Amino acid sequence: MKAANGKTIGVVGAGAMGHGVAQILAMAGHEVVLIDIDDKALKKAEEKIRWSLDKFAEKRRIRQEDADAAFSRIKTTTDHKTVASTLDLVIEATPESLELKKNLFTELDTLIPQHGILASNTSTLSITEMGKATTRPEKVAGMHFFNPPQLMTLVEVIKGDKTSPETVESLVTLANQLGKTPVVVRKDVRGFIVNRILGSVFNEAFWAVNREEVTREGVDASVKYSGGFPMGWFELADFVGLDIVYEVGKILHNAYGERLKPCTQIIEPLIKKGELGQKTGNGFYDWSKGRPRIPFSLLEEFDVDRSWAVAVNEAAWIIHDDAADPEDIDTGMKLGTYWPSGPCEYADRTGIDVIVQQLQALHKKYALEIYNVCPLLEDYVKKGWIGKTGERGFYK
């Protein structure tokens, strides 16, 4: 049965992301079928959803009866075949494997109604490839929620090569209806917006530590206390999970070459020891007693302008690739990672000419591809589009 104005939505994969996505869909009035191959995962998901809904009610963000109604809108099953024909939309949140996701979409394509949309919550994989595994590539798109979906407001909506504007529009509408802020990634570029820009700042800082120019505590103290970011880069990598940072790093390297070459030297030894960050209690830092203490006294060890410079450069490459607009890039970084400012608005405030000079000086010193100035920035400076003091910058 459909809820008023609602859709019946299947969420495949009831893990860290899937259970949260199912919950917010149900809170917005949709009938949800949460599907997993593992019965225990479904039981655990139900417990977590119940707990989270009660927390929302306890904090008076929703009424208890609405929490109960949302919970009752979620059904669970290990047998997707029996429910597939009722689904207007499927959002898959299975493990990050292209083979797995392609096989799943190939099968669902034969089972869901003709109008049904297949969306993937993948962090990095190709939406176009997933579309090719179906007979309806125009109805396949990315819908990338951030963790935890119940609290994070950003959703990246990703267009594959064949995704229709109607499909993008319908996922944008859904995201808005869930109370989220969607940003559209017009091209199926690896890392989309947020992971791609984060990848560049992680690499830059990790290589600097690897060269023993600065300590990781020095980087993190400077990023937090001088730069005003909520977490240092090493702390954030631990928080995300070093296995995920490592995998995303490899995918970005394959896609963008030397410019986004990850510093595997400092992550691999930790992964080999099973020290994956916060979730295992150890990573770059010891998390066994809670969040690591980053010494305030080191706040000048690292020049945070370097992080900004490579972030602005990568943002320029995203625009150069025609994958997203400055507004969406800035919104993505502010809502997806709580940056104090988006890279494009930062560049316009600082002066794009100043950023270009910083990148050129860093390139002269280290001869690394990451500091090679994006042609878009060079072009802007040539035209006098340097930001606030010029006619325009990233923004008019």
Ligand X SMILES: NC(=O)c1ccc[n+]([C@@H]2O[C@H](COP(=O)([O-])OP(=O)(O)OC[C@H]3O[C@@H](n4cnc5c(N)ncnc54)[C@H](O)[C@@H]3O)[C@@H](O)[C@H]2O)c1
Query: Which residues are identified as catalytic?
Result: 123, 144, 156, 195
Beta carbons within 8 Å of 117's beta carbon, 6+ residues apart: 88, 89, 90, 139, 140, 141, 167, 170, 171
Considering the rule CB under 6 A, would residue 217 count as an interface residue with ligand X? no
Considering the rule CB under 6 A, would residue 262 count as an interface residue with ligand X? no
Closest CB to ligand X among residues 123, 313 = 123
Considering the rule CB under 6 A, would residue 17 count as an interface residue with ligand X? yes
Considering the rule CB under 6 A, would residue 252 count as an interface residue with ligand X? no
Q: Under a CB-based contact definition with an 8 Å cutoff, are residues 18 and 76 in contact?
A: no
Cα–Cα dist 75/126, whole Å? 29
Considering the rule CB under 6 A, would residue 46 count as an interface residue with ligand X? no
Tokens 């059904």, located at residue: 75
Considering the rule CB under 6 A, would residue 219 count as an interface residue with ligand X? no
Applying CB under 6 A, among 46, 54, 96, 327 the residue interacting with ligand X is 96
Considering the rule CB under 6 A, would residue 37 count as an interface residue with ligand X? yes
Vertex 124: Cα angle to 122 and 125 (nearest 5): 75
Cis peptide leading into residue 149 (ω within 30°): no
Nearest distance from residue 395's CB to ligand X, in Å? Answer: 29
Considering the rule CB under 6 A, would residue 13 count as an interface residue with ligand X? yes
Applying CB under 6 A, among 6, 10, 11, 18 the residue interacting with ligand X is 18
Considering the rule CB under 6 A, would residue 38 count as an interface residue with ligand X? yes
Cα–Cα dist 67/77, whole Å? 21
Comparing CA positions, the residue from 290, 336, 291, 344 lying closest to residue 314 is 344
Considering the rule CB under 6 A, would residue 104 count as an interface residue with ligand X? yes
Cα–Cα dist 226/378, whole Å? 28
Beta carbons within 8 Å of 383's beta carbon, 6+ residues apart: none
Applying CB under 6 A, among 51, 60, 95, 272 the residue interacting with ligand X is 95
Considering the rule CB under 6 A, would residue 278 count as an interface residue with ligand X? no
Secondary structure (3-state) at 192: coil
Closest CB to ligand X among residues 271, 368 = 271
Applying CB under 6 A, among 22, 26, 41, 323 the residue interacting with ligand X is 41
Give the phi and the psi of residue 300 in degrees, each rounded to 5. -110, 10
Nearest distance from residue 244's CB to ligand X, in Å? Answer: 7
Nearest distance from residue 351's CB to ligand X, in Å? Answer: 34
Considering the rule CB under 6 A, would residue 151 count as an interface residue with ligand X? no
Q: How many residues bind ligand X (CB under 6 A)?
A: 23
CB nearest ligand X: which residue? 15
Interacting span for ligand X (CB under 6 A) from 37-45, 224-232, 275-283, 310-318: 37-45
Nearest distance from residue 359's CB to ligand X, in Å? Answer: 30
Nearest distance from residue 236's CB to ligand X, in Å? Answer: 12
Q: Under a CB-based contact definition with an 8 Å cutoff, are residues 333 and 343 in contact?
A: yes
Secondary structure (3-state) at 120: strand
Cα–Cα dist 277/124, whole Å? 20
| H/E stretch holding 9 | strand 8-12
Nearest distance from residue 155's CB to ligand X, in Å? Answer: 10
CA distances from 130 to 81, 90, 251, 288 (A): 20, 13, 16, 39
Interacting span for ligand X (CB under 6 A) from 47-55, 117-125, 154-162, 285-293: 117-125
Nearest distance from residue 18's CB to ligand X, in Å? Answer: 6
Applying CB under 6 A, among 9, 11, 14, 335 the residue interacting with ligand X is 14
Report, in angstroms and rounded to the nearest whole number, the Rg of the chain calculated over CA atoms. 22
Cα–Cα dist 263/41, whole Å? 34
- In the complex, the residues that contact ligand X under the rule CB under 6 A are 12-18, 35-38, 41, 93-96, 100, 104, 121-123, 146-147
